[in-house]
């Protein structure tokens, strides 16, 4: 997540020293509505992360009938790790979007939705298989 | 004489929507804290992570209120509304629940 994507405009946010200037020093203030929308998107990602954490804890601790403990632990840890990655990357997404808005460049693509989408798809598949196997064994 | 109505500073209610968003995030943190209390068994030390998360939830609510007033004042004065400090603080703290949850799941 830390590498900078190559920008066709030659990375307008970087200085000669290679150190990125502070957010408030680049460009100009965007419309306050955009800044606040960006902030709310950040908060929405944090809430998504918290929901995944709650799901992960619940699968391991509150659903003993779902399947063997090893499998529940795998699903729970997967959910919590996805949640942790999203929480960790949410600030980077916020700050790159804010920087792009201040400089008037296009918003950089975010890989957060990829992590969430494919991550949850894999978890759903595993849970589905666990349920089918558990029902078939009875 | 009718009083002159004050001009609407924030017609899209962006400041209020942002405050509610902070409040929802605080609620989500509180729910996670409740879940941790529910699953934590035994000693008082095992309830400490939940207590820490509850404090963060409370901070979210207090920050939401203060941030709302700051945003309205900034919009009225035409200043920047972006608050790196708020976002950075929550970002740093938001990874904490993941670590707590992972520890809670892995440590029997």
- Please write the tens of the pLDDT for every residue from A23-36: 878 888 888 888 89
Contact B98 A53 (CB under 8 A): yes
| Torsional class of B10: left (φ above 0), alpha (ψ -120 to 50), beta (otherwise) | beta
> Which position has the token pair 């207590």?
B51
How does residue B108 score in pLDDT terms, banded at 50, 70 and 90?
A: low
CA distances from B24 to A51, A56, A129 (A): 12, 20, 34
Contact A43 B88 (CB under 8 A): no
Distance from CA of A100 to the nearest CA of B (A): 13
- Please write the tens of the pLDDT for every residue from A81-138: 999 999 889 988 998 999 999 999 998 888 888 999 999 999 999 889 888 887 776 6
- Please write the tens of the pLDDT for every residue from B18-46: 999 999 999 999 999 898 888 877 777 77
pTM assigned to the model: 0.82
Q: What is the DSSP letter of B5?
A: P
A5 contacts: CB under 8 Å, gap ≥ 6: A108, A109
Instruction: Determine the Cα–Cα distance for residues A105 and A13; give it in Å rounded to an integer.
Output: 10
> Which position has the token pair 């409370």?
B58
Residue A100's pLDDT is what?
A: 92
Q: What is the mean pLDDT of chain B?
A: 83
CA distances from B54 to A127, B77, B78, B94 (A): 30, 35, 35, 12
Contact A57 B21 (CB under 8 A): no
How does residue A4 score in pLDDT terms, banded at 50, 70 and 90?
A: very low
Residue A1's pLDDT is what?
A: 40
Residue A14's pLDDT is what?
A: 45
């Amino acid at each position: 997540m830390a590498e900078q994507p190559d920008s066709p405009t030659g990375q307008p946010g970087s200085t000669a020293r290679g150190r990125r200037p502070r957010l408030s020093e680049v460009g100009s203030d965007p419309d306050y509505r955009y800044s606040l929308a960006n902030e709310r998107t950040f908060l929405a990602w944090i809430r998504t992360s918290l929901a995944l954490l709650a799901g992960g804890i619940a699968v391991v601790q509150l659903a003993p009938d779902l399947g063997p403990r090893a499998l529940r632990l795998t699903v729970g840890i997967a959910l919590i790790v996805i949640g942790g990655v999203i929480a960790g990357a949410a600030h980077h997404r916020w700050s790159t979007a804010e920087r792009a808005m201040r400089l008037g460049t296009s918003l950089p693509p975010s890989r957060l939705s990829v992590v969430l989408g494919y991550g949850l798809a894999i978890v759903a598949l595993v849970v589905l298989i666990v349920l089918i196997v558990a029902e078939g064994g009875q | 004489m009718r009083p002159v109505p004050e001009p609407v500073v924030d017609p899209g209610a962006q400041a209020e929507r942002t405050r509610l968003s902070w409040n929802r995030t605080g609620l989500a943190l509180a729910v996670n804290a409740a879940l941790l209390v529910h699953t934590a068994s035994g000693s008082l030390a095992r309830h400490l992570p939940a207590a820490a998360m509850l404090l963060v939830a409370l901070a979210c609510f207090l920050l939401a209120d203060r941030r709302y007033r700051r945003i309205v004042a900034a919009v009225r004065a035409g200043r920047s509304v972006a608050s790196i400090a708020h976002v950075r603080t929550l970002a740093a703290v938001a990874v904490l629940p993941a670590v707590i949850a992972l520890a809670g799941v892995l440590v029997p």
